[in-house]
Structure 1
Amino acid sequence: MQELLVGLEEAVDGGRHREWAVQCAHALGLGGIAVSLRWGAELVWFSDGVSARLEDAQFTLGQGPGVAAEFTDVPHQVPDLARDAAEEWPQFAAEARDLGVWAVFVWPVRSGAVRLGSLTGYRRTPGPLTPQQSADGLRVADALAGRLLAWRPGNESSTDGQGEAGTVDLHWAEVHQATGVLSCRLGVPLGEAMVRLRAQAFAEGRAVTETAREILRELPS
């Protein structure tokens, strides 16, 4: 793990984002990892498609360990979604199972006492983390916190597309844009517009990003 952490900056600068992320997830005994800021309000980093879709599900539904964890324990472990999450987050548990996810683990991404977001990992089999995996996950979260704090958008930075592992992209930029459109169109506050957007996506059985893009496509060119 130490070798991976030391090589984070070089991997990102060299374009080996996905390779680094996959190796990191495997070192933690996970199928994939993702980072969301502000209690799931913005997905900025993910290793694979399942991780992104899992974060989309939490964002759309407004439920799940990544948006609910208070971190009385680090990491927040849900080692068996069927047993531990069916009552608290029934829709999320069902979505996760559809993705083949059976266990979820969440670490705080923080700078000092300030929580910036969450690092979420998943497994396709139930079971808890080992103490070493728990500790290593926190080291990864701390390393990524430093990466996020150092990031500034530049001319080559994508701000409206899906991110790749190791880069910082605003995966839900279109969602926030569509929220603003709905707020103006319906004459409601942004918070209510976001709730309506999520509800529409859930009712249609689509990712909230897909629903947002459809709303934006309706705008006059």
Structure 2
Amino acid sequence: MGSTVRDLLGRLSGRADDTRRKAWAHACAEALGLGGVAVTVNEELVWFSDTTSERLEDLQFTLGQGPGLGLDDPVEMRQIPDLGELLARQWPQFAPEAVKLGVAALFVWPVRLGAVPVGTLTGYRRTTGPLTARQVSEGWLVADVLAEHVLANWPAEPDANGPGHAGTVDLHRAEVHQATGVLSVRLNIPLAEALDRLRARAYASGRSLTDTAHDILRQELPHDDH
């Protein structure tokens, strides 16, 4: 028998490294009846259970579309039980890309600090249909516990935080911010415009925003001619 959500929340440890956090998130997704989950706080992707969850958050950030954006009500939870119905209407770019990943349904809870939304917990399924009332309720519980956990383990020095460090969360978009700064200086444009150009480059190439940012940063490294 699989673990219950309450069992898993009792095992959540601030000392876990990135591999263990992903394993925990995957088990939590299964307990909620989801294929995977991802957590974004203050527009930083801090936790995800699998590559599909990571890619979904990346698409929302790149396109500026998706169910996790504009979720400002601390008591609003979004259920999209059939993503295919939105292809021609809401999120015209995001929805088709999500469907290509095999995603059929999406569910988003606000991650709250008190009564203030600071991020989202997004889960997906590969089959259509709504969650049960119990799954919705347990999703709220997970979102609230993760809010406390992530903020308690937020790195004091983001630039020094790399993947896999125990006792802290990983800021998976650190390279995106660095590459945005590089483009801003290189092209002599504002940071907001530089980020838009980075997003457009990633979307046009079909690659993740992180990989695109990594390429830009690698171009800035000095080359050894010897």
TM-score clears 0.5: yes
- Give the corresponding residue for 1:198: 199
Change (3 A) 1:160 1:6: closer
Q: Determine the C-alpha separation between the residues in 2 that align with 1:22 and 1:187.
A: 42
How many residues are aligned here? 216
Note the C-alpha offset of 1:66. 1.1
Question: After superposition, what is the alpha-carbon deviation per residue over 1:121-147, rounded to whole angstroms, capped at 9, x for unaligned?
Answer: 000011111111111001000110011
Q: 2:90 aligns with which of 72, 88, 91?
A: 88
Note the C-alpha offset of 1:159. 2.7
Corresponding residue SS for 2:93: helix
Q: Determine the C-alpha separation between the residues in 2 that align with 1:158 and 1:48.
A: 24
2:134 paired with 1:106: no
1:144-183 matched pairs, under 5 angstroms = 144-153=146-155, 159-161=161-163, 168-183=169-184
1:73-84 matched pairs, under 5 angstroms = 74-84=76-86
What residue identity is the alignment partner of 1:183? S
Asked if the contact 2:40–2:121 (Cα under 8 Å) also holds between the matched residues in 1, the reply is yes
Question: After superposition, what is the alpha-carbon deviation per residue over 1:88-132, rounded to whole angstroms, capped at 9, x for unaligned?
Answer: 111111111111001111001011122111000000011111111
2:27 paired with 1:23: yes
Asked if the contact 1:35–1:119 (Cα under 8 Å) also holds between the matched residues in 2, the reply is yes
What residue identity is the alignment partner of 2:119? G
- Give the corresponding residue for 2:213: 212
Q: Determine the C-alpha separation between the residues in 2 that align with 1:57 and 1:15.
A: 23
Structure 1: stretches of 5+ with no match in the other structure: none
Asked if the contact 1:151–1:168 (Cα under 8 Å) also holds between the matched residues in 2, the reply is yes
Note the C-alpha offset of 1:73. 6.0
| Deviates further, 96-105 or 203-212 | 203-212
Note the C-alpha offset of 1:167. 6.0
Q: Determine the C-alpha separation between the residues in 2 that align with 1:13 and 1:218.
A: 30
TM-score when scaled to structure 2?
0.87
2:3 paired with 1:2: no
Change (3 A) 1:99 1:9: same
Q: Determine the C-alpha separation between the residues in 1 that align with 2:208 and 2:19.
A: 28
Question: After superposition, what is the alpha-carbon deviation per residue over 1:23-54, rounded to whole angstroms, capped at 9, x for unaligned?
Answer: 2111111000000122xx21110111111111
TM-score when scaled to structure 1?
0.88
Asked if the contact 2:87–2:96 (Cα under 8 Å) also holds between the matched residues in 1, the reply is no
Corresponding residue SS for 1:88: coil
Q: Determine the C-alpha separation between the residues in 1 that align with 2:160 and 2:123.
A: 24
Change (3 A) 1:30 1:158: farther
Note the C-alpha offset of 1:72. 7.7
Q: Determine the C-alpha separation between the residues in 2 that align with 1:200 and 1:70.
A: 29
Asked if the contact 1:58–1:92 (Cα under 8 Å) also holds between the matched residues in 2, the reply is yes
Asked if the contact 1:182–1:193 (Cα under 8 Å) also holds between the matched residues in 2, the reply is yes
RMSD, aligned α-carbons = 2.5
Q: Determine the C-alpha separation between the residues in 1 that align with 2:109 and 2:215.
A: 33
- Give the corresponding residue for 1:51: 53
- Give the corresponding residue for 1:36: 40
- Give the corresponding residue for 1:136: 138
Structure 2: stretches of 5+ with no match in the other structure: none
